[in-house]
Structures are given as C-alpha cells and as structure tokens.
Structure 1
C-alpha cells in the first residue's frame, strides 16, 4: 500500500513538473542582443540597500545605456561600464539586461537644455522636413515631420 501511494505521488509530481515546464518554455523568449548594441542595466531596488544614489521606491529601475563589448556563452554579456560603477562586475546575466530602444546618438545632453525665467522649456521648430496627406480611418489627415531646434 505504501509503495502504491509513493508511485501515485511520483506520477503526480512528474505531471506537475511537466506542466510547469511547458508553461515556462512557452513564455520564454530569446533575447537577440549583439555586440556593439546598447542595453539598459536592471538595478531594481533591494530593501534597505542604497544603490545608484537613491533608496527605496524612488530609486531607478534601469540605468544606462551601456555598450555590449563581448558575448560570454549563451546567457552572459560583458558591458562597458562607467568609472563610477567600478564596484559592479562587468559580466552580467541576460536577465539583468534590457535592449535600449532609444537612439543613443540623438539624445540631448541636459547641459544643452535651456529654460526660460518661468522654468519652462520652449521648443521652436527649426524646419519642416516632410509634409503629406495620408488616409486614416477614411479621413484625410495631414502628416507633418518637423525638426525641432534645441536652445
């Protein structure tokens, strides 16, 4: 009787493990990171630990962008980190990385942003690059591409 019970428990455990494995494999997505791409480093806050200048819920969830220097195996990447992040190892697991979606070369440094006396940022168009009409939901809509100048 004990042997039959143990066999039943093993079968049910095996079925539960197979079911969980199928859920995990179905949701797994390959991350296509390449050398010389930019990624964001996940620095989710840990309770009571101050990292990256802030503590608690106001601390940033991602930091970067950082350039990928080398791929190490299937799951790890070596990053080009800044000098102030010396205490962090430069080889990181893929679960700590997110692909950087912004164009790194087109970001405006904070030093170039000029505010007026009311502390507001006024954007002025530099030039209109493209102007055309498109059909959107059976309506004619004018599409204008504008290049903004930064003060």
Structure 2
C-alpha cells in the first residue's frame, strides 16, 4: 500500500516536501506532514524527483473568482460541433463547446 491508496490509482509521487539534510552519499532526510507519519523520512535519491517551480505557472489568488467551496463558473463561448451517433436502438447526441474560464 502506497500513501493511503493501493493498486493502479496510487500516486507515483507525493509532495513537494522540504529536504532537511543529506544523510549518506545517496540518501536524504525530509520533512513530511503529520498525515505521513507512518512513513520513514529518509529516502534514496533514486525515488526522489526534483521539484521544478515555474514562476509563470503560479496564478495570483487576488484576481481569481473561486468560491468558498472551491468551485468556479464557466461561461460557454460558442458551439464548435454537434454529432448524433446511432446505437442499436437509440440515438446519442454530443456537443463540443468552447468554454471561457473566469479564473484566468
């Protein structure tokens, strides 16, 4: 069992977490949150992944219109395509819509 989930849906990486010190030539001690207290804090370099933070991808919170329940409203701009697919005894219609997001 990995990090609370098992099977195919278990996350490959969790984090990012702060590295406290280098313990050996290939081992590092990290600071983990209380939820992961049952996991040993020393990891081999082969299972760590470098966290690359891109300052362009960080969005400011001041301009976002996120509600208290962490949802937002999207507005449709235009309908791009409509299709009706025939199955054995019924028809299923699908619509492709271009959405304008208020968050960005």
Normalised TM-score (structure 1) = 0.39
Aligned pair partner of 2:35 in 59, 84, 89 = 84
Where structure 1 has 5 or more consecutive residues not aligned to the other structure, the ranges are 1-48, 125-147
Aligned pair partner of 2:101 in 112, 115, 122 = 122
CA distance in 1 between partners of 2:35 and 2:5 (Å)? 15
Normalised TM-score (structure 2) = 0.54
User: Is 2:15 the counterpart of 1:64?
Assistant: yes
Where structure 2 has 5 or more consecutive residues not aligned to the other structure, the ranges are 76-98
Equivalent residue of 2:17, what SS? strand
Checking the alignment, whether the CA contact within 8 Å between 1:66 and 1:80 is kept in structure 2 is yes
Greater gyration radius: 1
1:68 CA drift (Å): 0.7
- Rate the CA distance shift 1:100–1:112 in 2: closer, same or farther, 3 A: farther
Q: Which one has a larger percent helix, Structure 1 or Structure 2?
A: 1
CA distance in 2 between partners of 1:70 and 1:108 (Å)? 31
